[in-house]
A and B are shown apart, each in its own frame.
Chain A
Amino acid sequence: MSTVFLYGLVALLFIISWFKDPQKSKKALKIGWKSFSKLIPTLIPVMVGIGIILSLLNPEAVSVILGEKSGVLGMLLGIFIGSVAFMPGFVAFPLGATLLSHGAGYPQIAGFVSSLMAVGIVSLSAEIKYFGKKSAILRNLTALVAVFIFVLIVWGVGL
């Protein structure tokens, strides 16, 4: 859905741009293509690496690891798995809901889902290429702090 919208929007913008200035539009295409080709080499290992990691983690195994009685260790493991793994939200949320119904606990799932979204260990190499080592690592650490606070609140209110 959002993919169709995104393609439509950018296509429309490009057509408008083309009518206003074909020269500039050609330059925009060139810049887009060059940026794309700079990102791709770092993403190829990420895509395959994630495929391998996820093939080893099936829902049953994860819901045992993140079970309601798994306690603090389960929360830490949830955060760890979420930080290392990488999947789109429309896959992660139903998976999280399934894990909950299989007996995973809310704080553990909170750690898993939120770190999945904000912490990217495997995409760190790409992030470093864009923003340098220091800021990429610090941004991920900040995200990790956010994840911990979220988990603690969910745990504290007893969801």
Chain B
Amino acid sequence: MKLFKTHLYAILVVLLLILLIIFKPDVGMKALDLSASNFMDMFSVLPPIMLLIGLLDVWIPKEVMIKYLGEKSGLKGIGIVFLLGALAAGPLYAAFPVAAILLKKNARIANVLFFLGVWSTAKLPLVMFEYTSFGGKFTVIHIVSNLTVFLIGAYALEKSLSPAKKEEIYRISSSMVN
């Protein structure tokens, strides 16, 4: 029953996919193809990222993380998460476990939120690709405007959280990478 519950949505979408394949084969087969390529993408980035998380967990002491990304890390902390996000590879969902390990080691919530923003928008390989697809003006406006909002938003969001809520975020994210 528990297994059924954790996979409820998975079962529902797979059912929908099967129905599509039966009743609208052209759309269904395309959906199957796209789903398969989504899984391929997932398995190409997640395993190394997960192992990296394990390595970070055993090798980086909490004190180091607090010093560089903690409450009092200030501009240095922002700079480091910017680099981490910009050098990242993979879709946004791959950033969640990385963010969680940072939180588990007591990185500041605002820093981690900004990290997610940089990861989503300013990954270096993707920036170069965006430049060739849409031109320099588009890319510069995109990155500058979005990162500004992400930075302000990260601090504003952190401020809106009560100490109890922050505690809860640290607790649940730690439990996801354990």
Contacts and interface: CB of A to CB of B under 8 A. Distances in A.
B35 A35 contact: no
A9 to B, nearest CB: 8
Contact of A130 (B6, B45, B99): B99
Chief secondary structure at chain B's binding surface: helix
Contacts of B36: 51
B161 to A, nearest CB: 7
Contact of A120 (B14, B27, B93): B93
Contacts of A10: 48-49, 51-52, 55
B121 to A, nearest CB: 5
Interface stretch (B61-69, B70-78, B167-175): B167-175
B53 A35 contact: yes
Nearest to A29: B54
A74 interface: no
Interface in A20-73: 24-25, 27-36, 38-39, 41, 43-52, 54-56
A31 B13 contact: no
Given A31-B54, A52-B31, A159 B138 contact: yes
Interface string B16-29: 11001000000110
Contacts of B41: 88
Interface in B127-147: 129-130, 133-134, 137-138, 141-142, 145-146
B62 to A, nearest CB: 15
Interface of B: 6-7, 9-10, 12-14, 16-17, 20, 27-28, 30-39, 41-42, 44-55, 57-59, 89-93, 96-97, 99-100, 103, 109, 113, 116-117, 120-121, 123, 125-126, 129-130, 133-134, 137-138, 141-142, 145-146, 149-150, 153-154, 156-157, 160-161, 165, 168-169, 172-173, 176-178
